[in-house]
Structure formats: C-alpha cells, structure tokens
C-alpha cells in the first residue's frame, strides 16, 4: 500500500530516486514487496521523501540553519538590537510553498505543438481584447 501511495503521488520522482540510489530503471519489474522495501529505505534527501515531508533541505542543512539563526540572534542581542531582527533561515527552509507550479508533460511533440497553438491563440485573443477595450 505504501508503494502504491508513493507511485500515485509522484511516480516520476519515485522512478528518479530508484534510478539514482538503486540503479533500478523500472521498479515495476521488481516484486511489489521488494519495491516497497526499497522505497521505505530511500534516504531523507530523496525527491519523494522531500515531497512527502514538505522540506527541501537535508537534516544537516536544517541543523546548520538553526546554528546560524542562533548565532545571528546572539550577535543581534550583543549589538543591543541595532537594525532589524535577523530573519530565521530555518523558517525559510521549512516554510511550505505557497504556490504550486503546475508541471505539464506531453506524450509527443505533436501534442506539445497543439497545446502551444491553443495557448498562442488565447494570448492573441487577450491582446486583441486589450487593444479594442482601450
């Protein structure tokens, strides 16, 4: 069930992680129990684990950010609060993304060209409407 959840969530990320960490280019050739075990064993810096946790930094990076934040705060207090309070790097790294970018994939160059033509027509219609409304 875990593997199905991962594959359904972001199969592309799972494929990249299996290729990078295990040199397995088609995880579907593996027995489901083996593939699930490998998926559970992916390191924290794997793409799929980063997506699940919502954190794009490794544990080492988060710890270094916390140390940097504490040092900056210590220096700021020693300087008797001169200037603005330093921003916390840890919060920047762990802040969830506000806007998700929509990724698109095309199965063929022809499919892309059709999509591009539709977008171009929409853009031209918008420009025409802007010009006529002035």
Residues 48 and 13 in one domain: yes
Instruction: Supply the pLDDT for residue 69.
Output: 94
Q: What percent of the chain has pLDDT over 70?
A: 87
Instruction: Supply the pLDDT for residue 134.
Output: 60
Instruction: Supply the pLDDT for residue 71.
Output: 95
Query: Mean pLDDT for the chain?
Result: 83
How much is the average pLDDT of 96-112?
A: 72
| 88 part of a folded domain | yes
Residue 57, C-beta contacts closer than 8 angstroms, at least 6 positions apart: 65, 93, 94
Structure confidence by residue, pLDDT tens digits, 53-67: 777 788 888 999 999
Instruction: Supply the pLDDT for residue 28.
Output: 86
| 30 part of a folded domain | yes
Q: What domain count does the chain have?
A: 3
| 99 part of a folded domain | no
Residues 83 and 120 in one domain: no
Residues 22 and 47 in one domain: yes
Residue 93, C-beta contacts closer than 8 angstroms, at least 6 positions apart: 55, 56, 57, 61, 62, 65
**pTM greater than the 0.85 cutoff:** no
Residues 46 and 64 in one domain: no
Work out the pLDDT band at 83, boundaries 50, 70, 90.
Answer: confident
Rg (CA), the chain: 23
How much is the average pLDDT of 95-99?
A: 64
Exposure string of 7-19, with b = 16+ CB inside 10 Å and e = fewer, is beeeeebbbebbe
Checking if the pLDDT of 101 tops 60, the result is no
- Does residue 16 or residue 130 have the better pLDDT? 16
Phi then psi dihedrals of residue 91, to 5 deg: -65, -35
Task: Please give the residue range of the domain that contains residue 133.
Answer: 104-134
CB 43 within 8 A of CB 51: no
The Cα–Cα gap between 39 and 42 comes to: 5
């Amino acid at each position: 069930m875990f593997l199905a959840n991962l594959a359904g969530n972001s199969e592309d990320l799972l494929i990249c992680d299996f290729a990078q960490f295990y040199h397995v280019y088609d995880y579907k050739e593996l027995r489901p129990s083996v593939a699930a075990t490998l998926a559970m064993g992916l390191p924290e810096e794997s793409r799929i684990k980063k997506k699940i946790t919502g954190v794009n930094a490794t544990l080492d990076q988060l710890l270094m950010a916390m140390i940097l934040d504490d040092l900056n705060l210590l220096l700021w207090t020693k300087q008797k609060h001169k200037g603005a309070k330093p921003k916390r790097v840890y919060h920047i790294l762990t802040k969830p993304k506000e806007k998700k970018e929509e990724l698109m994939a095309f199965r063929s160059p022809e499919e892309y060209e059709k999509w591009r033509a539709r977008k171009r027509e929409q853009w031209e219609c918008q420009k025409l409407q802007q010009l006529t409304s002035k």
